[in-house]
Amino acid sequence: MASVSIRICGANGDGVESSGALVIKVAAKNGLHVFGYRGYQSIIRGGHVWYQIRIGDSELRSHGEGIDILIALNQDSINYQKSHLNQNAIVIYDPSKVKVDSLDSSRFVFVPIPLLDIAIAASGDPIMRNVVAIGAALKFVGIDIDAFNEVIRGMFGRKGEAVVNNNIKAAAEGYNYNGVKTAYNIKGDGKQRYALDGNTALSIGAYAAGCKFYAAYPMTPASTILQWFASHENKGVMPKQTEDEIAAINMTIGAASAGARAMCGTSGGGFSLMVEGLGLAGMLETPIVVVNSQRTGPSTGLPTKTEQADLLFVMHASQGEFPRIVVAPRSVADSFKVTAEAFNLADRYQCPVIILMDLYMSEHIESVERLDVDEVVIDRGKVVTENTGGGRFKRYLITDDGISQRAYPGSAGLEYVAGSDEHDEFGDLISDAFAGTDESIEVRKKMNAKRMRKMDTMLKNEKVFVPHVDADGGFYIVTWGSTTSPALEALEILKSKGQSVGLISFDYILPMDSRKTSDMLKGKKLIDVELNGTGQLAKVIRMNTGIGIEKSILKSDGEAFTGEEIANGIAEIIKSW
Amino acid sequence: MADVINPGTGATPKQSFASSIKGIWCPGCGDWSVQAALTKALQGIGIERERIVIVSGIGCSSAMPHPFSTYGIHSLHGRLIPVATGVKLANDDLTVIGTGGDGDGYGIGVGHLIHAARRNINITYIVMDNEIYGLTTGQASPTSLLGAKTKSTPFGSIENPENPVGIAIAAGATYVARAFSGDPVHMAELIKNGILHKGFSIIDVFSPCVTFNNLNTYDWFRQRVYKLEQAGHDPSSMQKALERSLEAEQTGWSKIPIGLFYKTEKPAYSALDMTLQKGPLVNQPMPTKQQVMDILEEYK
Ligand SMILES: Cc1ncc(C[n+]2csc(CCOP(=O)(O)OP(=O)(O)O)c2C)c(N)n1
Ligand code: SF4
Ligand SMILES: [Mg+2]
């Protein structure tokens, strides 16, 4: 496998993000594999932002270790990125703006290009300097300039010939600049791919599942889901920006009670506000999907950085005991798939389903060949529209599988009141006048057991609640969600060094099938790899199976793991095993 | 109940709307009158009961959905407005009525009130304002009067009472009224017109708590309330409505107006929502595979 990592750096407002998106599009359209990730801060102007785009000839699992080509739009780009430059890295910069004397000239290839002058001469627009630099970078990577031109025509065609030509001219100047030559020559396979981030894939998954209602209060890194729904409002979905996250989840419960497939989304802080509503959905047995895209906590934490530290929180959030499902997608394509399925699970088991994203999963872009659109089925579960039995409808009928029939308002003869107080099969409260009578104690016992029985039914009827054995080996990495990708990359690195390491990864974490999980883990040499400081998945595993994982690689510095980082850690642990 | 219901053709006017559950309120509680007035209002309109959803929060007053044979959601303390909003957004064909207390709606949930009002979402919100926390056995509420002695203010409240009518008007509610449990006929009329109103309607009801509020009793209210309809009030004027909303406090609670404070016509939320122009959300088709593939093309 060959790959190259390009990092575009500058300040907020320099067009770093749009430049990154452009390179990703060009590569994905040309049969190359791409993985993009953005580093930014919680300010709107200034600061130091970067976009790393890794381009390869086969599937990529992370944005790569170090920088092979740096586009330095300002002096900070050199100062802050120095330590990330790989040996022989190519540094593209404008000598009138950026000084490179602090870099060791024997280790790097300097490519000074008067980006600004060229941009102004070619188009009159200083922001075109990025495009000049991109042209040069494409040449170094070995991507044909026609590919760039085609993407530009697609993107800016509507804006008129002049915009298209300016871009094409500026890129050509960089591409053909004296001394710029192909250094990598990574060849694509001719297949056009989608370039998607996790939140986009999740949103499309929800759309495909017939999710009609999405409520949210803006919060990084979940806001782009709200924006996705908002920009697709003309496609038959209803986005609602609410006054707070409490309103978001309660509106979602209202919409779901009325029969719409409904979802809300936020990050940890907003999820904290949603907690009471989560229990309401559990008690009313209302199917809702809740997205928590984790960022570095606690509290406001690092709003633009990633972490996987909300697992135990979302598993246990809200008072009392009620059934719920927790799933953390393992890739961008997976974000589509598990979201589409989340709505079926919610409807089948009439309970909240929590999708645990994180900033890295929400925001990094992958090239994806296909999404499982054909495999999406819509199963609304036990819904009735007519009272066939006669008599008063028992919305909360006690059943063997714990699931009762559900009716939407509007259906004559099925009227009922759903109550957050404990209730009987009709929905009538047992809390007020009758609590504590023998009869009520019996009802309470049965209703609580009925609800919790749904967890057993899930485990019995669904195949998804077992971890994936992605690879076998003498040792096994155990991980979950977004860390699966860099873990897979680590396996390749270790393999190339003659180490055979396996991987067991979790996406559906709750409910956990104790027996199957235990059978899978028992007797293996396990190493827990998680992006948090306390090994939360390992705790869940021990709680469910009694198996303790003694060795771990944990980090909570705000940055995602790279494959190399995990591989080094594993090699170290194995050495001293 | 042996009502004859013909779905789609309207309910019989005599439909009782009573379920097999009896209200749980103390004898004499003002909330009984609200149940009676809401029943009368629904009977007067003649909507089929399956198209009605009564959404409540938590509190004595929030037990309102149970004695009704309609659909209902008895939700969380302070959250009936977002739940009701969600129901209405998902199915615009439904008549959605919120019922709750002053603690529920003016204390813990007051933020939602302002946003529902400014959205002008087409729901009707009845607040049983007893100036006390009934269910939790008698603590001060946001509308408890200055000096009111309650379990949580045994030396008298030092906080000024909220002006819910004024807040609702200022926030953009398009139908704002106040009723009194001592006059259920008047209340029924205000509720009925609120339900018929297209937009956010709120009816603040003085609904005495006979068990924990020995200050704001039936007699106390009877001596002080007067009807705006008989005072020549012009409910189309926001200015005048706001002035009337201040009157109670300005007169040291000696003159308290009830009746219709404010009513104006503005497009209801559903008239402006893009998606709802194609009909109720729940009736809209699931996407086809082709539609999903078309969206994916944006990312190539
Ligand atoms: C989050 C939360 N906090 C507190 C409570 C306890 N609680 C139940 S009802 C209530 C106040 C009830 O007062 P009000 O809304 O005025 O209704 P009333 O009983 O007077 O009709 C409180 C504080 C609760 N159920 N939930
Ligand atoms: S405690 Fe007060 S509010 Fe509650 S039911 Fe009794 S009288 Fe009504
Ligand atoms: Mg009260």
Amino acid identity at A353: V
Query: Which of B1, B270, B296 is the mutation pick for testing A, counting most A CBs within 10 A?
Result: B296
pLDDT of residue A556: 96
Cβ separation of B287 and A210 shorter than 8 Å?
Answer: yes
CA A222 to chain centre: 9
Is residue A435 one of the residues assigned to a domain?
no
User: A357 near A334, Cβ under 8 Å?
Assistant: no
State the DSSP H helix or E strand holding residue B228, giving kind and residue range, or none if neither.
Answer: none
Q: How many CB pairs under 8 A join A and B?
A: 198
User: A481 near A308, Cβ under 8 Å?
Assistant: yes
Query: Of A251, A412, A432, which is closest to B50 when you measure between CB atoms?
Result: A412
Query: Of B65, B114, B284, which is closest to A212 when you measure between CB atoms?
Result: B284
Chain B neighbors of A432, CB-CB under 8 A = 24, 63
Domain interval for residue A94: 3-192
Q: Is A112 found in the same domain as A64?
A: yes
Q: Could you count the other beta carbons within 10 Å of the beta carbon of residue A158?
A: 8
The per-residue pLDDT for range A385-438, each reduced to its tens digit, is: 999 988 999 999 999 999 999 999 999 999 999 999 999 999 999 987 677 889
Amino acid identity at A22: L
Q: Is A363 found in the same domain as A484?
A: no
Q: Could you count the other beta carbons within 10 Å of the beta carbon of residue B174?
A: 22
Ligand 2 pocket check for B130: Cβ under 6 Å: yes
Helix (H, G, I), strand (E, B) or coil at A202: helix
Amino acid identity at A387: N
Query: Of A212, A233, A417, which is closest to B274 when you measure between CB atoms?
Result: A233
Helix (H, G, I), strand (E, B) or coil at B78: coil
Query: Of A28, A200, A260, which is closest to B282 when you measure between CB atoms?
Result: A260
Q: What angle do CA A468, A470, A474 make, to 5 degrees?
A: 115
The residue among A172, A192, A212 that closes a domain is A192
Phi/psi-derived region of residue A152, left when phi > 0, alpha when psi is between -120 and 50, beta in every other case: alpha
pLDDT of residue B13: 53
Chain B neighbors of A212, CB-CB under 8 A = 90, 275, 281-282, 284
CATH no., domain B30-298:
3.40.50.970
Whether A253 has its CB under 8 Å from any CB of chain B: the answer is yes
The per-residue pLDDT for range B203-239, each reduced to its tens digit, is: 999 999 999 999 999 999 999 999 999 999 999 999 9
Ligand 2 pocket check for B109: Cβ under 6 Å: no
Query: Which of B79, B137, B283 is the mutation pick for testing A, counting most A CBs within 10 A?
Result: B79
Select the more confidently predicted residue: B4 or A339: A339
CATH number (domain holding residue A72):
3.40.920.10
Q: Is A228 found in the same domain as A113?
A: no
All residues with CB under 5 Å from ion ligand 3 = B 101-102, 130, 134
Ligand 1 atom closest to the Cα of residue B107 is: 15
Distance from CA of B177 to the nearest CA of A (A): 24
Whether A104 has its CB under 8 Å from any CB of chain B: the answer is no
Cβ separation of A259 and B91 shorter than 8 Å?
Answer: yes
Mean pLDDT value of segment A326-339:
98
Q: Is A178 found in the same domain as A110?
A: yes
Cβ separation of B111 and A244 shorter than 8 Å?
Answer: yes
List all residues 6 or more positions away from A410 whose beta carbon is below 8 Å from its beta carbon: A258, A259, B50, B51, B91, B93, B94, B282
The structural domains of chain B, with segments of one domain joined by +, span: 30-298
Beta pairing, strands A67-72 & A46-56: unpaired
Chain A neighbors of B86, CB-CB under 8 A = 213, 215, 250-258, 262
Kindly give the distance from the C-alpha atom of residue B151 to the centroid of ligand 1, in angstroms, as a whole number: 14
pLDDT of residue A8: 96
Q: Which residues of chain B have pLDDT under 50?
A: 1-11
Q: Is A350 found in the same domain as A489?
A: no
Mean pLDDT computed over every residue of chain A: 95
Is residue A234 one of the residues assigned to a domain?
yes
Is residue A425 one of the residues assigned to a domain?
no
Cα dihedral across residues A541, A542, A545, A551: positive or negative? positive
Is residue A405 one of the residues assigned to a domain?
no
CATH number (domain holding residue A517):
3.40.50.920
The per-residue pLDDT for range A246-270, each reduced to its tens digit, is: 999 999 999 999 999 999 999 999 9
pLDDT of residue A254: 98
Mutate to test the pocket of ligand 2, among B209, B213, B215, B217 (most ligand atoms within 8 A of CB): B209
Mean pLDDT value of segment A220-240:
98
End-to-end CA distance of chain A: 30
Cβ separation of A194 and B20 shorter than 8 Å?
Answer: no
Query: Of A193, A238, A411, which is closest to B273 when you measure between CB atoms?
Result: A238
Cβ separation of A253 and B86 shorter than 8 Å?
Answer: yes
pLDDT of residue B3: 34
pLDDT of residue B177: 99
Q: Is A200 found in the same domain as A92?
A: no
Is residue A443 one of the residues assigned to a domain?
no
Whether A387 has its CB under 8 Å from any CB of chain B: the answer is no
pLDDT for residue A47 is more than 60:
yes
The per-residue pLDDT for range A4-40, each reduced to its tens digit, is: 999 999 998 888 999 999 999 999 988 999 999 988 8
Kindly give the distance from the C-alpha atom of residue B161 to the centroid of ligand 1, in angstroms, as a whole number: 17
List all residues 6 or more positions away from B117 whose beta carbon is below 8 Å from its beta carbon: B168, B171, B172, B173, B200, B202
Is residue A221 one of the residues assigned to a domain?
yes
pLDDT of residue A12: 87
Total of domains in chain A: 3
Chain B neighbors of A371, CB-CB under 8 A = 296
Whether A344 has its CB under 8 Å from any CB of chain B: the answer is no
Q: Is A354 found in the same domain as A242?
A: yes
CA neighbor of A571 nearest in space, from A493, A488, A456, A455: A493
Mutate to test the pocket of ligand 1, among B133, B151, B206 (most ligand atoms within 8 A of CB): B133
Q: Is A222 found in the same domain as A188?
A: no
The residue among A375, A396, A425 that closes a domain is A375
Query: Of B71, B85, B91, which is closest to A415 when you measure between CB atoms?
Result: B71
User: B294 near B268, Cβ under 8 Å?
Assistant: no
Kindly give the distance from the C-alpha atom of residue A282 to the centroid of ligand 3, in angstroms, as a whole number: 27
Q: Is A137 found in the same domain as A57?
A: yes
Query: Of A194, A233, A280, which is closest to B299 when you measure between CB atoms?
Result: A194
Is residue A539 one of the residues assigned to a domain?
yes
pLDDT of residue A303: 95
Ligand 2 pocket check for B209: Cβ under 6 Å: yes
Rg (CA), chain B: 20
The pTM of the full predicted model, rounded to 2 decimals, is 0.96
The residue among A152, A173, A192 that closes a domain is A192
Q: Is A165 found in the same domain as A61?
A: yes
Cβ separation of A416 and B70 shorter than 8 Å?
Answer: no
Mean pLDDT value of segment A295-322:
97
Amino acid identity at B104: D
Q: Is A370 found in the same domain as A501?
A: no
Q: Is A369 found in the same domain as A279?
A: yes
Chain B neighbors of A429, CB-CB under 8 A = 63, 66, 74
CA A238 to chain centre: 22
Kindly give the distance from the C-alpha atom of residue B143 to the centroid of ligand 3, in angstroms, as a whole number: 9
Mean pLDDT value of segment A105-120:
96
Chain A neighbors of B74, CB-CB under 8 A = 417-421, 429
Mean pLDDT value of segment A156-166:
90
Q: State the maximum Cα–Cα separation within chain B, in Å, rounded to a whole number.
A: 73
State the DSSP H helix or E strand holding residue B257, giving kind and residue range, or none if neither.
Answer: strand B256-263
Ligand 1 pocket check for B153: Cβ under 6 Å: no
E strand map for A177-322: 194-197, 211-216, 238-241, 261-266, 288-294
Whether A238 has its CB under 8 Å from any CB of chain B: the answer is yes
Kindly give the distance from the C-alpha atom of residue B103 to the centroid of ligand 1, in angstroms, as a whole number: 6
Reported as a pLDDT band with limits 50, 70 and 90, residue A553 is very high
pLDDT of residue B12: 54
Cβ separation of B282 and A242 shorter than 8 Å?
Answer: no
pLDDT of residue A30: 86
Kindly give the distance from the C-alpha atom of residue B211 to the centroid of ligand 2, in angstroms, as a whole number: 6
For residue B68, the 8-state DSSP code is B
Calculate what percentage of chain A has a pLDDT beyond 90: 90
Beta pairing, strands A365-368 & A194-197: antiparallel
User: A219 near A199, Cβ under 8 Å?
Assistant: no
* Nearest chain B residue to A231, by CA: B295
Is residue A491 one of the residues assigned to a domain?
yes
Whether A543 has its CB under 8 Å from any CB of chain B: the answer is no
Phi/psi-derived region of residue A427, left when phi > 0, alpha when psi is between -120 and 50, beta in every other case: left
pLDDT of residue A157: 86
The per-residue pLDDT for range A300-312, each reduced to its tens digit, is: 999 999 999 999 9
For residue A481, the 8-state DSSP code is G
* Nearest chain B residue to A261, by CA: B282
Mutate to test the pocket of ligand 2, among B33, B102, B130, B181 (most ligand atoms within 8 A of CB): B130
Per-residue three-class SS string for A337-386? HHHHHHHHHHHHHCCEEEEEEEHHHHHCEEEECCCCCCCCCCCCCCEECC
Mutate to test the pocket of ligand 2, among B210, B213, B215 (most ligand atoms within 8 A of CB): B210
Cβ separation of A415 and B70 shorter than 8 Å?
Answer: yes
Examine the predicted complex and report whether its ipTM is higher than 0.90.
yes
